[in-house]
Structures are given as structure tokens and as C-alpha cells.
Amino acid sequence: MIVTHSLPADAFTALGGGAGDSVVVRRLHEAQLSKHLMLLHVVAAAAAGIDPPSRAVAAFRAGYRLLARIQAADPAAVATLLGLPHIGSWAHECLACLDNGTSPDFGYLATAAAAVAIGLGVPFEVEVPASAGRVSLPGLGCLEVASQDEWVRLSSDGQRLRVGGHVDLECAALVPDDGTGEAVPYWRGTPLVRVVADGQAWEVLLETGDKYLDRYPLPMRTAMTASDVRCWRRLIQAAWELLLRHHAWAAGPIAEGVRVIVPFESHAGLESAASQAAFGAIATSLPPSAVSLAETLIHEFQHVKLYGLMDMVPLVEPGGERGYAPWRQDPRPMGGILQGVYAFTGIVRFWDTQRQVETEPDEVLQASVLYERWRLAIELATDTLLKGGFLTPTGARFVTALRERGQRGEPVSAAAAEIARDVALDNWLTWQLRHTAVDAAGVAGLAAAYQRGEPRGSEPLPDAWIKDDVRDIDAVIPRSRVLDLRFQEPRRYRQLSDADVAGLSAADVRLVRGDADAAVAAYRAVLHVAPDPAAWIGLALAVHRFPAETTRPVFAARLPLLFEMHACLAEQGIHADPLDLVAWFE
């Protein structure tokens, strides 16, 4: 009888606290290995049903037999191979193909089998698929086959590998490139990074050739020069030292669980990703610093862990509801919001430590703002998840624990708290105006009552609902970019140049220069002429600079309604003062 994987109570508790040690991560990985085997069973059943076998199916069967033969002598080696994220991604793709009625890439399994056979010095002979003159061996490297044939025969006596009819190579030389070996003709070993600090090591592959790990939102960087690889090695070493010395809770589990880093092609900003299909892999563009890479590793590994957990235990109820994710400018499904909460639980813990570790005032400020900004995000997003009934009972317990974990740090400085609240508010106001529709009849009724000078009364407010891009507003308004300099580049913000504020309205310039009184007056003047969404957001931000201002909650909670009422009145030739309108709702 086949039993299912289980997760001990203490492992679930540890994950719910946002962490989980190496033992917990190993348990998640063991379940992933079984998942890969389950999907392999699906692919094998599909291959068995194809008669006569195609070339690809024949290759699959040969690869499967080879793996079974190796497994009989060395089960751990096959488990290591089948646990790779390459295999997980390939198996998911096969499942998708079978569900779509298209043929899976059966032949890939033969390359995986060849990779492990070469590594162990096991004699074999299989035909494998080639692409653009190359055969990619998962987890090992890439053979250059000197032909454009779609299929290549690999044969080995355990010592030498014969590639087609042309190339003969020593098997022992066909290893990942750890930076210490000589170049081998016809062979490009996958870059392997070995880092050590405080006596603790981590080995991770920089995958630059496997097509099943080139499926993230940004393309894989496939053409890495030796200099590029050296740069990655240095950065990973520095990030590893930082993690071990200051974030030990994350370092061990990352070393246990992250087997592959997929470098993205160069990109203007830092982008990173993880996938449910590829447990053990994270993808990222080259971060600008060790601190940034350490944060990225923690961030993406949080996703990896949660994907592993959610494969085992449902945490989110089925349903298509979407909501506000405080780190995004588009409505997100509840599963995505939970992923974000989990990622930011790790990030908050990272910045909570960094704000103690940093010594330069600007870096302390940056760390403090990032800590507070994402702590507030967790608070808001967990509210959304818990109050909406979107979670399973297990999921609700999990998120409650995450929420508590996110509240444990010491308060930040007043300056950092103000910036964090301001940035969070800016994102929230912009999102609301972009994606909140309001019932037009209800708006017209309220506008008429306001125009007649009646009190607001106790009637329910008009219905409002989430709708994509209901108003045309940029995801990041230029003003927000300048305001973000307060913590991203504090020195530059203190010395704002004319070039920095070029393109901003006069009201925006007053706001970013810290003159809130003048900014309020200028935004009111803009809104007297026309109902401009960006000016409404600017006015709300300016009003929030006055702690005693009683209309702040109205701005924060009712901005789409305020905008629509203001626009409705303007259409009738009535140019209501925005502050009067806001006061009407108090």
C-alpha cells in the first residue's frame, strides 16, 4: 500500500513562523521528489501507450531503463537527479502537454539518464535529442555535437563517451565547471559555485543551458562569459557570508534547498522569480550588491518553501477572488497574496536584522524603511486573507502565525515610520484609483445631496468593486519615483536637483520638497480646473503630512468615491473644493 507524505506538527509550525530549518526543507524536498516520480509515472504511462514508438518514445524508454539499472546499484544518485528542478519543470511541462493533447518531450529523460550515467561512469548507449548543435545534460553541462542533427547517439564504456560518430571524450572530465578545471573540447560544464564561510559550505549551479529552467518571466542568461561567472561567484560568496553571520535562520535552509540559480538576462532593475514547477531553483538578474542578493535569496526561497508546502497541504480555498497586494499595482488572486505575505515575512526579518547591522545613517534609514514598509504590507495583506474567508482552516492558522511573526520587531525611528507609511499609502491610493469601480447611480445621488447642501446622512455608500484599470493612471507616477528617493537614495533626495524634479507638476514639486501647505493649495488649484486622479493622490499624500488632520481616514478609505463625485459635479459645471467634499464625509 502506498502512503502519502505527511508533515509533522513542528515542521508546519516552523514554516508558519516564516522560517523552517534544514530538516524541514529536506522534508519538503522529499515530497517534491515523490511528486516528480508521480509525474514521471504519468509520462511513462503515456509513453507505454504509443505503439509503434516514435524516436522520442524509444529514447524515453531507453532512458527509463538506464535510470532503473543505475538505481539498482546507486539509488541515491538517481534520487538526486530526479529531485532536480530541471526534472520537476520538465515533468510539469509533460503533464501540460498530455492535458492539451500534444506530445510531451519524451526524449529529455534520455539526456537526464545519460547525465547521471556519465557522472557515475556507468556504461550505456542511448539516443538523445539535440538542439542547435548541442545536447544539454541536466545538472551537468552541455555537449557540443558538431552537427545540426536532431538526434545524437551517446555511448560510453564507463570511461570514454562517444558522441555521434565524431567526438570521443573522457567521462571524468565531463563535470560542472567549478572554476578550477581546464577547458574540455566540445564540453561546457554548467557553472558550479562553491562558497564557504565560517566552515559552512553551499554548492549551487548557475544554470545557463537547460530549456526547462528558461521559463521565467525574463529570459535565462545563456551566454555567460568567464568574467560574468566570476562576478556571480564573488557576489554569491559575499551574500553567503552575510547570511551566515547575520541571518543564520535562512542560511542553512537555503543551502539545503536551493540547488540552482538561474541568471536572468541583464535588466534595468532587479527582477527575480520562483516557480511551483521547479522546487529548488530561483531565478534572478544580477543584484547590485551582496545585501541585495542575500535579500533576493531569502525572498525567493520563501516562495520555494511555500510552493512546496502548498503542494502538500491546501491553504487557499478555490475561487477566483482578487484583492489588493500592497507590493503590486494590479489586483492579485488570493494564492498570490499569500505567496507575497510569506515572501515578505522573510524580507521583514531580513531588514529587521539589517537595520541593526548597518552603521551608515542612510543605510540604517533604508533598512528601517524597508522593514516598516513590508511589515505594514504583511499586516494589511493578512487582514485581506483572514477576513475574506479565502483560506482553508489550516491556511487560516498558517496566516495568523505569519501575521504574529511580522509584528515582533522593535519600532523604527519616527522618520523611517513616516516614509514607510507614506510609500505604503501612495501605493494603496494609486491602486484604489486604478482598480476600484464605483456605482454611478449611487455617486450621482450623493453628488446631488452634496449640491443641495444636505448632510451626508447614514445611507449606505455606493457599491464599489475591483475592476482592472478602471481609470487611466500610471502604475508608478513620476512623483512617486522621486518620493522613493527618500529611502532609496537619501543623499540624492536631500540635494534634489532640477533634473530630478523635471516632469513633475508644480504641486508635486512642492510636495517632494516638503512644503505640504503649498502642495495642498497647489493640488486644490489643479482640481478646481479638472478632476485629475494623480492630483487627488497628491492631495491625499499632502494632507497626510499633517498628523492632526481629521480628514486623513476619508482620503485613505474613499478616494475612488471622492474622485467620482468630484468628476460628476464637474460635469455639471460645479467645481467643488476637494477639501469641502472630503469634509462632507467626516
Query: Closest distance between another protein and the C-beta of residue 323, in Å?
Result: 13
Using rule CB under 8 A, residue 223 touches another protein: no
> Least distance from C-beta 92 to another protein, angstroms?
6
In this chain, which stretch among 166-174, 317-325, 415-423, 558-566 interacts with another protein, using CB under 8 A? 317-325
Could you say which residues in the range 253-292 bind another protein, by CB under 8 A? 271-278
Q: How far is the CB of 116 from another protein (least distance, A)?
A: 12
Least gap, CB of 410 to another protein (angstroms): 20
Task: Enumerate residues 6+ apart whose C-beta is below 8 A from 10.
Answer: none
40 binds another protein (CB under 8 A): yes
Out of 86, 215, 375, 558, the residue judged to bind another protein by CB under 8 A: 215
Q: Which of 88, 141, 280, 335 binds another protein (CB under 8 A)?
A: 335
**Which of these, 359, 365, 360, 354, lies nearest to 485 by C-alpha position?**
365
Residue 303, interface with another protein (CB under 8 A)? yes
Min separation Cβ 379 and another protein, Å: 17
Between 279 and 555, whose beta carbon lies closer to another protein?
279
Q: How far is the CB of 155 from another protein (least distance, A)?
A: 21
Give the Cα separation of 87 and 97 in Å (integer): 15
Residue 99 makes contact with another protein by CB under 8 A: yes
Q: Tell which one of 22, 23, 37, 444 touches another protein (CB under 8 A).
A: 37
Amino acid at 150: E
Residue of the chain from 24, 35, 510, 564 that contacts another protein (CB under 8 A): 35
Task: Report which secondary-structure segment, H or E, holds 580.
Answer: helix 578-584
- Closest distance to another protein from the beta carbon of 150 (Å): 22
Strands 141-144 and 187-189, sheet pairing: antiparallel
Answer whether the bond into residue 288 is a cis peptide, omega within 30°: no
CB of 471 to another protein, least distance (A): 24
Q: How would DSSP label each residue in 216-250?
A: SSS-B-----HHHHHHHHHHHHHHHHHHHHH-HHH
Subset of residues 44 to 63 that bind another protein, contact rule: CB under 8 A: 44-45, 48
DSSP tag of 131? B
Query: Burial level of 542, CB count in 10 A (0-12/13-18/19+)?
Result: buried
Q: Are 77 and 119 in contact (CB under 8 A)?
A: yes
| 350 interacts with another protein by CB under 8 A | no
Which of 105, 178, 203, 311 contacts another protein by CB under 8 A? 311
| Ranges within 66-85 binding another protein (CB under 8 A) | 67-68, 71-72, 75, 78-79
Long-range own/partner contacts, residues 226-234 (CB < 8 A, 24 or more apart): 228/263, 229/177, 229/179, 229/191, 230/179, 231/286, 232/191, 232/193, 232/206, 232/261, 232/263, 232/286, 233/179, 233/193, 233/195
User: Cβ contacts of residue 489 below 8 Å, gap of 6+?
Assistant: none
- The correct pick among 93, 177, 210, 508 for binding another protein (CB under 8 A) is 93
User: What minimum distance in Å lies between the beta carbon of 98 and another protein?
Assistant: 10
C-alpha distance from residue 355 to each of 21, 65, 366, 413 (Å): 23, 55, 8, 11
Residues 524 and 542: their CA atoms lie apart, in Å, by 11
Give the number of residues in contact with another protein, rule: CB under 8 A: 76
Scanning residues 359 to 398, which ones bind another protein (CB under 8 A)?
394, 397-398
Buried b (16+ CB within 10 A) or exposed e, 6-16: ebeeebbebbb
444 by Cβ neighbours in 10 Å (0-12 / 13-18 / 19+) ranks as: middle
Residue 77 or 415 with smaller CB distance to another protein: 77
What does the angle CA 117 – CA 122 – CA 126 come to, to the nearest 5 degrees?
60
Q: How far is CA 534 from CA 71, 154, 474, 476, 527, in A?
A: 63, 63, 9, 10, 10
* Binds another protein (CB under 8 A): choice among 175, 197, 313, 466: 313
Stretch that binds another protein, among 28-36, 460-468, 496-504, 513-521 (CB under 8 A): 28-36
Is the CB of 276 or the CB of 488 nearer to another protein?
Answer: 276
Smallest separation, CB 236 to another protein (Å)? 20
* Binding of another protein by 229 (CB under 8 A): no
103 sits near another protein (criterion: CB under 8 A): no
- Minimum CB separation of residue 337 from another protein in Å reads 8
Smallest distance from another protein to CB 401, Å: 6
Integer Cα distance of 221 and 206 in angstroms: 10
- The minimum distance between CB 336 and another protein, in angstroms, equals 5
Task: Copy the grid coordinates of residue 4.
Answer: 502519502
Identify residues 393-432 at the interface with another protein (CB under 8 A).
Answer: 394, 397-398, 400-401, 404
- Choosing from 199, 217, 453, 573, the residue that interacts with another protein (CB under 8 A) is 217
Point out which span in 145-153, 309-317, 442-450, 548-556 binds another protein (CB under 8 A).
309-317
Question: With contact defined as beta carbons under 8 Å apart, do 230 and 281 qualify?
Answer: no
For another protein, what does the binding mask look like between residues 106 and 145, x meaning CB under 8 A?
----------------------------------------
Q: CB within 8 A of 314, min separation 6: which ones?
A: 392, 394, 395
Residues 6 or more apart in contact with residue 142 via CB below 8 angstroms: 134, 135, 136, 187, 188, 190, 209
Which of residues 64 and 536 has its CB atom nearest to another protein in the complex?
A: 64
